[in-house]
Structure 1
Amino acid sequence: MAVMVLSLAPAWGQGAAPDAGQLLKRVRQAATLQENKDVKGQIRKRSVKVPFSMSLRGNLIAFQYQQGGVANRFDLKFRDRGQEILSWKNGRAAVLPVAQYSVPIAGTDVTYEDLSMRYLYWPAAKVVRDDAASTVKGRDCWIVQIPNPNPKVGQYAWVRVWIDKENGAMWQMDGIDGRGELAKRFMIDSVMKLKDGSWFFKRMKVEVRDPSNPRKTVSVSYIDMENP
């Protein structure tokens, strides 16, 4: 989402809350500093299963997925001040229009914006919580709130992320709508160790909430990664 960002990052160490901007910078670097990797998985929602592969090559991540027997590809290209989402057609790449950021991929609950995690580049982030609510899967986390600098673009007015205090991994991401209500939640269910010794998430749960009752989950998808 840039999914590789969820691999375990270098240790942070304990102490006072760090600057939120620096936290997000380190999380972004965890993606671009990875060695070349090729991983496979699937996005599934009920009976819908969408196989995909992901190739990490420095500042470029290429996603390929199957839909109706047709291979589709889009890339995430990281830059110093953000990243581009590139879609491929007839062997050519073009920048994905912002109007398509919120389009679900192959009937799942996962969108191009979700996979890009472009909110990691938004400015004005701040650490907002450090209490019992900041613990996920038994891990102590910093909770970072990131406002959308252009709320008219994309699904979320702001995003809240849980970043592990010890290793910098992201365990949970909440997308908040313009009313300040939870619209979508991403949670890592399990992690796995790759052959090169690095860690990667094994399964992520994606919950879509009811707009009229944010406590109610109306749809669930999963992102499952294969253990190579």
Structure 2
Amino acid sequence: MKSFFKKILGAACIGLSLGALQAEPSADELLKAMRDMSVSQGEKDVQGQIRKGRTKIPFGMSVRNGVIAFQYKLNDVWNRFDLHIKAKGVDIMEVKDGKATVLPVAKYATPLAGTDVCYEDMSLRFLYWKGGVLEDAGEDARIKGRDCWVVRIQNPTKSGQFAWVRVWIDKENGTTWQIDGYGADGELKKRISITSVQKLKDGSWFFKQMKLEVRDPKDSSRTVALDYIEMDDLPGKK
């Protein structure tokens, strides 16, 4: 089948060749395909902004040799952190004065530049957890009118903001439409969803806007904060 939604933001919008998978792939196959795509698309450079209300934080991403670098601008200063992809998982690296050090686990959920988006949200490191399982989600498996596989991934450690996540992956084209992050109490903490996309001249697709919703700890059906990650038009947009 057609491969599209080329993967840059960790696995936010994924292009994966489902033709290489069986009709009903396992969760591990789907997750492996997503992880593999993070380093197989060559060099990329993209720009955009994180928007919370009237606050707009410029940011950029680049992909080089299996490293996804993130930068955001605060008070006219660019700050950087990297996602280093390894065979056994990923590391979030904080880069200062040209030197990269492993980001302390305690900082995973630290908000970036006054927004609700944290290091873990931006890097989507939880999509590199292994041991996912396919859920029988029934009607909940449809997102934006699309039939999806729903993969549940348990946090292999106690680090980070989520105990487990659920990921909606389009059955036809491999697009990741939605990611839900849950706390140890089983309640929804955050929802990350693709709200708009852009098509490139080569037939591939890339996300245009991604929405992050923070849910009320006392009522997980209620959104208490809302942020957007928005991409500039990419070169080659159709």
Q: Give yes or no for TM over 0.5.
A: yes
Return the TM-score normalized by structure 2.
0.89
1:138 equivalent among 137, 142, 145: 145
Q: Does 1:206 align with 2:212?
A: yes
2:56 equivalent among 45, 49, 56: 49
Return the TM-score normalized by structure 1.
0.93
2:40 equivalent among 33, 36, 61: 33
Deviation at 1:48, TM superposition (A): 1.5
Alignment of 1:26-105 (within 5 A): 26-105=33-112
Deviation at 1:2, TM superposition (A): 6.1
Q: Is the 8 A contact 1:61 1:77 kept in 2?
A: yes
Q: Which amino acid aligns with 1:208?
A: V
Cα deviation per residue 1:1-47 (whole Å; 9 max; x = unaligned)? Answer: 96152334233259753211111010111211112111101001112
Cα deviation per residue 1:96-120 (whole Å; 9 max; x = unaligned)? Answer: 1111111111111111111222222
Q: Does 1:124 align with 2:131?
A: yes
1: distance between equivalents of 2:225 and 2:64? 33
- Identify the range of structure 1 (189-198 vs 28-37) with the bigger mean alpha-carbon deviation: 189-198
Q: Which amino acid aligns with 1:135?
A: R
5+ residue gaps in structure 2? 1-6
Q: Which amino acid aligns with 2:57?
A: V
2: distance between equivalents of 1:196 and 1:51? 27
Aligned residues: 227
5+ residue gaps in structure 1? none
Cross-structure match for 1:165: 171
User: Structure 1 residues 169 and 19 mapped into 2: Cα distance closer, same or farther (>3 Å)?
Assistant: same
- Identify the range of structure 1 (107-116 vs 217-226) with the bigger mean alpha-carbon deviation: 107-116
Structure 1 vs Structure 2 CA RMSD? 1.8
User: Structure 1 residues 58 and 194 mapped into 2: Cα distance closer, same or farther (>3 Å)?
Assistant: farther
Cα deviation per residue 1:180-213 (whole Å; 9 max; x = unaligned)? Answer: 0000000100111235543211001100000000
- Identify the range of structure 1 (128-137 vs 94-103) with the bigger mean alpha-carbon deviation: 128-137
2: distance between equivalents of 1:196 and 1:72? 32
User: Structure 1 residues 196 and 86 mapped into 2: Cα distance closer, same or farther (>3 Å)?
Assistant: farther
- Identify the range of structure 1 (213-222 vs 136-145) with the bigger mean alpha-carbon deviation: 136-145
- Identify the range of structure 1 (187-196 vs 29-38) with the bigger mean alpha-carbon deviation: 187-196
